Structure 1
């Protein structure tokens, strides 16, 4: 236990040293190139041609994997600390826009598959597992929350009643519009479109168009309609 705590503290010191020294170096001073060179020794895995802009914060880098051609822009926060089984995996060519917060809590796996775009000012939070498929487009100000607070006892503060965690799955080739909220336990099927501002509280079948609060399917995008 002591060795594990020492290892964790040492890792955090390395993260702080590297990110403090290089984290705010602008592009004009070869910041992305230097970060790519040094950060590769911190992450569990890191592919080639990774671009990390200045102002990005990483926590628990030994549990973070970046594929080839990943782009991470200003003021993004990736937090995998807090549990040895936590893992954040960004596959090849994932792009994370500015001010995105991706965080684990306990025993959490967050996986974003190839060629998916995560827009600005998005929050993606465990502790339930979150899997986002290939070629997805997630528009700005979306929230994806794989947890729910218990509140059945009115005599006890809600923050002491614990949480539930079921996980979230977003299939390949989905488009979530501006300001969508995806709640715990939801699966959004492949090829679906979720309209701006919708709150997804139940499963959405593949190739559906869903809008509203709560989100309801208004049309199908099945293969016959597309031919």
Structure 2
């Protein structure tokens, strides 16, 4: 059994480890973790760039990976506290994006500004318990290669966006998006689909 598994199974050790990694009731790791642990646990791909004003709520007990020649722009927030965040090659995470794991983003993906992807949901079903104290659930978000997501869109937990799909600005995506389609609206629906026979993007 690994050290990580032993800590998870021992409540006291788990509480102590979390206290050492980040302040109580905070998502951001302590300075010593950001400076001395994360650079070795989460190496960046060749030519990749994380802008100076990005908030990296990245902890060593879950995966964070940034591919080659990818960029995370200013004022974005990346959080792997509840699940891995994996970003492929030649991908741009735009200004003000929020990415909360578990999230996997493919290669050659473009995210515009102020997009939220959250693989995390807070529990709320017990009205006698504050929502902040109820258990959280997670469901993986997957964005396949060559996608483009427009500004101010929201991608909810458990959604898969297929290859070369486009999400129009301001959309709220609550269901899987088929490959080679354009979706728009709240909730997002398919409005165009690529026709391989005609070579045209056709209205649905």
TM-score (structure 2 length as normaliser): 0.78
Q: How many residues align?
A: 178
2:122 corresponds to 1:146: no
Distance 1:80 1:13, change over 3 A: closer
2:43 match: secondary structure = strand
- Indicate the residue corresponding to 2:4 in structure 1: none
2:171 corresponds to 1:195: no
- Indicate the residue corresponding to 1:79 in structure 2: 57
2:42 corresponds to 1:69: no
- Indicate the residue corresponding to 2:153 in structure 1: 180
How do 1:120-159 residues align onto structure 2 when only pairs under 5 Å count?
120-126=95-101, 129-159=102-132
Cα RMSD after superposing both structures: 2.4
- Indicate the residue corresponding to 1:99 in structure 2: 75
Where in structure 2 are there 5+ consecutive unaligned residues? 1-6, 8-12, 22-29
Q: Which moved more, 1:139-148 or 1:149-158?
A: 149-158
Task: Determine which of 90, 110, 125 is the counterpart of 1:115.
Answer: 90
Q: Distance in 2 between matches of 1:67 and 1:141?
A: 24
Contact 1:63 1:80 in 2 (8 A): no
Kindly report structure 1 stretches of 4+ aligned residues shifted beyond 6 Å: none
Q: Distance in 2 between matches of 1:184 and 1:178?
A: 18
Where in structure 1 are there 5+ consecutive unaligned residues? 19-41, 44-59
TM-score (structure 1 length as normaliser): 0.71
